[in-house]
Structure 1
Amino acid sequence: MMAFTPLEQAAIAAILDESGERRVVVEQQLTRSSVLSRKNTGGGFFAELKVDSSASRLNEGTIPFGENIYFGIYGLQYGLGMILHLKGGYVNLLEGYSVGGEDTSAIDFARIRFALIAEPGPLPTSGS
């Protein structure tokens, strides 16, 4: 199993900030999770997550997190949106999707420059 990349860590931190009252359970699950696999889909990426079975379960089941989480990404005009998916009350997938439908197949998401942004757009000049 793999550790989270800097982009994944930043996305998770931003998603936790908007999780409201469910933050405690989601944060507990994420601290007891690791990445099983990653895939650059050409339209973003998927990071499949494995949560320790001792973590508390959310009652919501499959309601995703990350409605307004965007990152400026070096080489993308509109950046990525981020969504944390759940299955059966547990986080199971972090999705980064190309907001403008741009091709991401050449991007190495583990090493890319990025910055959290308020709305879809390019990487600010002071990005990570």
Structure 2
Amino acid sequence: MSDFTRLELAVLRSIFVETPQYADGLAAQLAGASVAERENTGGGFFTTISVATAIPRVSSPRVLGHEIYASVEGLADGMGFVLFMEDGYLNLLEGYAFGYENTDLLDLTSVKFTISHSPND
């Protein structure tokens, strides 16, 4: 794993737990993955993931992670997350702030957070 933040890794691992039928394959991909690009959009973030094509594909839905949330220091309402797959590979992790909160001033590489399975936890 290369260049992933603590938040990104915690979210990805929580999504894998949420989808046990794909967990082993997703974890294998993450072990051979790196961050291709990261953008703080002001309303959340996008992390583009690069996976070595020698790692087997996972036959999963295109979108995973509908039940993963985080309380994030600096955001009153926290964040939700979705993982997009492309052709059986990890592709894009999206984190989005609830409400109209701005993430521009958050240092997403070191922000404190707590992962939950409810936006109100």
After TM superposition, the score normalised by the length of structure 2 is: 0.91
For structure 2, the 5+ residue unaligned runs are none
Give the Cα–Cα distance (whole angstroms) in 2 for the partners of residues 121 and 104 of structure 1: 19
Q: Partner amino acid for 2:50?
A: K
> Secondary structure in 2 aligned to 1:85?
strand
Provide the aligned length of Structure 1 versus Structure 2: 121
Paired residue for 2:59?
59
- Structure 1 runs of 4+ aligned residues shifted over 2 Å read none
> Offset of 1:2 from its aligned partner?
4.6
Query: Quick one: which amino acid aligns to residue 76 of structure 1?
Result: L
What one-letter code is carried by the residue in structure 1 that aligns with 2:12?
A: I
Q: Please give the alpha-carbon distance, in whole angstroms, between the structure 2 residues aligned to 1:103 and 1:39.
A: 14
In the alignment, structure 1 segments of 5+ residues that lack a partner are 123-128
Paired residue type of 1:36:
A
How many Å apart are 1:20 and its aligned residue? 2.0
RMSD, aligned CA: 1.7
Q: Which amino acid aligns with 2:40?
A: N
Deviation at 1:43, TM superposition (A): 0.7
| Percent identity between the two aligned chains | 36
- With normalisation by structure 1, the TM-score equals 0.87
